[in-house]
């Protein structure tokens, strides 16, 4: 399997002096996700945890609804990239082929762009009934645990991470990738393969919180998304409509809550927890 990092030579200019050195950099590869022999998407991603990536992408993009609908998976290294060949149950495979034909449409129909925009902005799943709660201490612990479980980023300083934090258990899984949405897909795949419900914890991200992260987190069934950077305005709107708790700019003991305030225990409530 392809390596996730590489040692490369460099010329360093520091303190007005020039020297030769080496740096470990993250690998990035073209990863094709193919179903029934037809490619659905090609993503630039870190070539690690690829089985998790295949499952997570399939779930978060709505290609399958559960792990049982994936019957087989094969990782094929090709010239210039990696092809993830994913086989589906017959009924799901037929539904995907029908969806592809519907999307194709006649050239110049004038609808394809509109349909693509609608797909990108589809509402996030309703997670308003998820009953998880976190304290300020939980949020701080989650961010520290995420940082401590990023071996590839420690080497390269160039990749994102997505983690799953459960109250009382801590950070139970972390996945890394050059793309923040890829890292989340890998995490979703890992949770599905280990029968861990998204409603039991919070998703923790090293990145800004944008619309696709809201959609994928809600599809997982998680009611909380916490990130180190700020959210976009559209992400806040979508999180509000889906009933998700959105916590951002979580650094050290500081954070900002943008939606779903009731899931965060503050002050005396937190002390009593």
- Please identify every residue annotated as catalytic: 109
Phi, psi of 142 (to 5 degrees): -65, -45
CB atoms within 10 A of CB 230: 14
Label each residue of 12-65 as H, E or C: EEECCEEEEEEEEEECCEEEEEEECCEEEEEEEECCCCHHHHHHHHHHHCCCCC
Helix, strand, or coil (residue 118): helix
CB atoms within 10 A of CB 29: 20
Whether the Cβ atoms of residue 213 and residue 184 lie closer than 8 Å to each other: yes
Count of all residues that appear for the chain in the document: 273
């Amino acid at each position: 399997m392809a390596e996730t990092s590489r040692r490369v030579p460099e010329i360093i200019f520091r303190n007005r002096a020039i020297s030769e050195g080496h740096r470990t950099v993250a690998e990035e590869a073209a990863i094709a996700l193919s179903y029934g022999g037809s490619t659905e998407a090609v993503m630039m991603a870190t070539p690690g945890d690829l089985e998790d990536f295949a499952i997570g992408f399939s779930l978060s993009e709505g290609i399958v609804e559960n792990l049982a609908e994936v019957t087989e998976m094969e990782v094929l290294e090709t010239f210039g990239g990696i092809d993830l060949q994913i086989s589906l149950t017959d009924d799901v495979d037929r539904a995907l082929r029908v969806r592809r034909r519907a999307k194709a449409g006649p050239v110049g129909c004038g609808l394809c762009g509109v349909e693509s925009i609608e797909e990108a902005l589809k509402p996030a799943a309703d997670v308003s009934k998820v009953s998880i709660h976190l304290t300020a201490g939980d949020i701080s612990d989650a961010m520290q645990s995420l940082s401590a479980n990023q071996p590839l980023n420690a080497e390269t300083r160039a990749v994102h991470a997505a983690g799953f934090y459960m109250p009382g258990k801590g950070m139970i899984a972390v996945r890394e990738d050059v793309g923040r949405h890829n890292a989340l897909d890998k995490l979703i795949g890992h949770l599905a393969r280990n029968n861990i419900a998204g409603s039991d914890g919070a998703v923790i991200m090293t990145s800004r919180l944008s619309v696709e992260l809201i959609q994928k987190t809600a599809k997982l069934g998680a009611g909380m998304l916490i990130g180190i950077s700020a959210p976009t305005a559209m992400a806040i709107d979508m999180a509000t409509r889906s009933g998700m708790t959105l916590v951002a700019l979580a650094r050290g003991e500081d954070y900002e809550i943008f939606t779903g305030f009731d899931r965060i225990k503050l002050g005396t409530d937190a002390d009593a927890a």
